[in-house]
Structure 1
Amino acid sequence: MNVWAIRMKVLYVLFLALLLSGCGDLCSVDLLSESKSPDGKYIATVFERNCGATTPFVRVVSLRHAGSGFAPEEDDDWVFTIHGQSDINVSWVENTELIISYSATGDTPTQRTRWKKLNIKY
């Protein structure tokens, strides 16, 4: 194989690696607050996703078991979303009941009333 063909293959591999490295999640995530249930078994996390100038900010409330780490990409655990930068407060009434309050300044595409064994009120 000649030198030119080897150089072309190396350039092709480098180009492909550069192209694939830019295919990740381009959204930034800012953690705003967390609140543990009274028995310490669950955590409610409020965070904000910003995916660039062409999409709105989205604020999210996600739930998880206390032993697991924060994983903002796990949208199955998202119980509330709102477009924009509304203030969101979460408070536990009891071990299995969460209240989410927010300033209504945007669309709310996700507003679940149950997550696993937990009840959610607004």
Structure 2
Amino acid sequence: MKNKLKPILITIITILAVFMTGKYVLDTLFGDMCGNDIVQNVPSPNGKKVAYIFTRDCGATTGFSPQLSILDKDDKFPNKSGNTFRSDEKFTIGWIDEKKLQVFYDKKSETYKMDRSVNGVRVEYVGK
């Protein structure tokens, strides 16, 4: 019985090792195909938060998407989708105070994310 179990275990371990190595190589070579280009960064009135307007581009099949993230001033800007607002049209923002931000967007645009509270900041949306 032990003689039959050993080749099976070796085969399973080999398959797992090959799979994990392949996944690592593909992730390293191709990684995240999306990229962010910061259009504007607007600090809050007290300077503790930063609102980033940026475009996210994931290649020829998706096009670019204007997005918004609200981060602490010391946070590194990540290569991720916006944590606050995502749309198919450009928009503008304005701080009311350190805990409230307004987003001015076209009501006809398609929105994919509209969070009302992010990272301790209340977000108000004003459609034009």
- Fold-level similarity (TM above 0.5): yes
CA distance, structure 1, for counterparts of residue 97 and residue 77 of structure 2: 22
Give the deviation of 1:20 after TM superposition: 4.6
> CA separation of 1:21/1:115 partners in 2, compared to 1, >3 Å: closer, same or farther?
closer
Task: Give the TM-score taking structure 1 as reference length.
Answer: 0.74
Unmatched 5+ stretches in structure 2: 1-21
Match of 1:82 among 67, 83, 87: 87
Task: Give the TM-score taking structure 2 as reference length.
Answer: 0.71
Any residues of structure 2 matched to 1:25-36 within 5 Å, and which? 25-36=32-43
Unmatched 5+ stretches in structure 1: 1-15
Structure ranking higher in helix proportion: 2
Higher alpha-carbon Rg: 2
Match of 1:107 among 107, 110, 128: 110
Kindly report the root-mean-square deviation, in angstroms, between the aligned alpha carbons of the 2 structures.
Answer: 2.2
Q: 1:53-88: CA deviations, max 9, x gaps?
A: 211321110010011221132x4x6110012xx222
Alignment coverage as a number of residue pairs = 104
Match of 2:53 among 38, 46, 49: 46
CA distance, structure 2, for counterparts of residue 68 and residue 116 of structure 1: 12
1:120 maps to 123
1:62 maps to 69
Amino acid across the alignment from 1:78: N
2:78 maps to 71
Identity of aligned residues (%): 25
> CA separation of 1:121/1:21 partners in 2, compared to 1, >3 Å: closer, same or farther?
same
